[in-house]
Structure 1
């Protein structure tokens, strides 16, 4: 697997004093400063986010996600990927993906009707009310954190006026994933999702019970994420936020490794911008010349799919100046 991850830690930021519905109130300004610093330095952080309660997490993972992955493969494949949206559906048991990893996705908006349509696709004619309530409840809380962080970044960089338009354009992919454990006589951990950067503005990861996320620092060291609390989520900057901020934010390489004999489950919310990605004029000057050409997220995602997104700077390859 290569060099072992050292016992480093991600920055921990406490969001318990932040109300997503009241930007600027409470601990907002203090948390904002920590968020901007963490994303500039590490490109990610450990968010203590008690709004996603233990009951919500348990209902989501134990009552919904595990039920989802117990379905036969034929049922899961109904969550299809189309040629123009190659990463918006079921991944697993197909070319390019190991059988030890699979995931399904609810796309575009984190709304009750989207969740119901997904559930009806998986269990046609079934009583899916409990599944829908658990999935929407968790996804909504995670999306609230993502929006707060995006707003904080724009405020912290002095360009808050761009937030509303970006938010209106945003699509979400809410992906539920299972990473099988090596089990048997396997020693150590095995890679279940290889080293990559995300094509998103922001990604929020919620893991259940089993660790596995590893993040690479700027000097090449690996941080093995261990949640600082039962309320932890991981916020990761994607390449599109890196481009939009004119390289003021890092988009870290990361991977998933799993050991032992217990499968790892996680939920990942990807925030994908619908607007053309171009650094605002306010973020371009003599000290910060343009680093990337304007582009659309769909085009960048197709480029990454076509060329592979593993451990290479695909953003620079695609649109670097």
Structure 2
């Protein structure tokens, strides 16, 4: 299959795109977003900031500590030796953004860029989430209190690592992810319904949206949690920015009553995002298999 098979959603073409959005989320669990609200200049500036932060000395990057499990600095590991990341939990919180910037001695310009970017991506995540809910007949600002986390990623690809995995096969634990991928260096692949991997080639100015495990729980199994991975295709540094709409901070995630009926009985027990995240980490079930542990019949 070709990269062109990944569905594209034009954010300026609603309501005509509602059916296409629903189909993309059920069949693929991912789609490209075009004509979105984030200016190309901001995407470019944020990538520059990300590159600078990930080039900081290790002792500085290690100050980026966890707020929730796995939300801070991730050093290269045996499982993912070519990958490292910095993280910020709760992008909508000015206090959290300031703390992240202070940990890394961000300059005033870098700090301002991160704040503007965080606000823009948070708003886009809310817009996409609400449009997706609308395709299911649900209204209101359903995800307003759900925190967003972002992770800035660096892959140190060398000639010797071409053909190696940059990140192993996984699903995201979150509801949805907005990914600003590297516009020059490819490597991202998503799994289609047949189990084949499809390359998601760089397309400057677009963003990729992935649905995660929490979307499957919330939708009572209707939405696909897409498996994906990163492969080393060339000797180059690859940078990406992933922003995750997680789940309610304290309340449990469960399917709204409108999505449960005699034909669609409740599939999953209510579970908080934090408990589900811990379950995935403790069991090392990172590719959606942990959902079986929160099924009603498990």
* Partner SS state of residue 15, structure 2: helix
> How much has 1:111 moved relative to structure 2?
4.3
* Partner SS state of residue 269, structure 1: strand
> How much has 1:49 moved relative to structure 2?
3.7
* Partner SS state of residue 179, structure 1: strand
Measured in 2, the distance between the counterparts of 1:97 and 1:89 equals 17
Measured at CA, do residues 108 and 312 of structure 1 come closer, stay the same or move farther in structure 2, by a change above 3 Å? closer
Contact 1:172 1:271 in 2 (8 A): yes
Measured in 2, the distance between the counterparts of 1:97 and 1:69 equals 20
Q: Which residue of 1 aligns with 2:85?
A: 103
Q: Which residue of 1 aligns with 2:61?
A: 76
Gaps spanning 5+ residues in structure 2: where? Answer: none
Q: Which residue of 2 aligns with 1:225?
A: 200
> How much has 1:137 moved relative to structure 2?
2.5
1:132 corresponds, among 107, 111, 114, to 111
Contact 1:91 1:97 in 2 (8 A): no
Measured in 1, the distance between the counterparts of 2:267 and 2:147 equals 25
Measured in 2, the distance between the counterparts of 1:193 and 1:57 equals 23
Contact 2:37 2:124 in 1 (8 A): no
Matches within 5 A, 1:214-293: 214-227=189-202, 229-274=203-248, 275-293=251-269
Measured in 2, the distance between the counterparts of 1:244 and 1:316 equals 14
TM-score normalized with structure 2 length: 0.92
Instruction: Give the aligned length.
Output: 293
1:211 corresponds, among 154, 172, 186, to 186
Q: Which residue of 2 aligns with 1:167?
A: 144
Contact 1:111 1:136 in 2 (8 A): no
Contact 2:91 2:122 in 1 (8 A): no
Contact 1:204 1:235 in 2 (8 A): yes
Residue 158 of structure 2 is aligned to residue 182 of structure 1: yes
Gaps spanning 5+ residues in structure 1: where? Answer: 1-5, 18-26
* Partner SS state of residue 159, structure 2: coil
Contact 1:258 1:264 in 2 (8 A): no
- Runs (4 or more) in structure 1 with deviation over 4 Å come to none
> How much has 1:112 moved relative to structure 2?
4.2
Residue 127 of structure 2 is aligned to residue 148 of structure 1: yes
Measured in 1, the distance between the counterparts of 2:173 and 2:116 equals 25
Measured at CA, do residues 312 and 157 of structure 1 come closer, stay the same or move farther in structure 2, by a change above 3 Å? closer
> How much has 1:53 moved relative to structure 2?
2.3
Measured at CA, do residues 268 and 320 of structure 1 come closer, stay the same or move farther in structure 2, by a change above 3 Å? farther
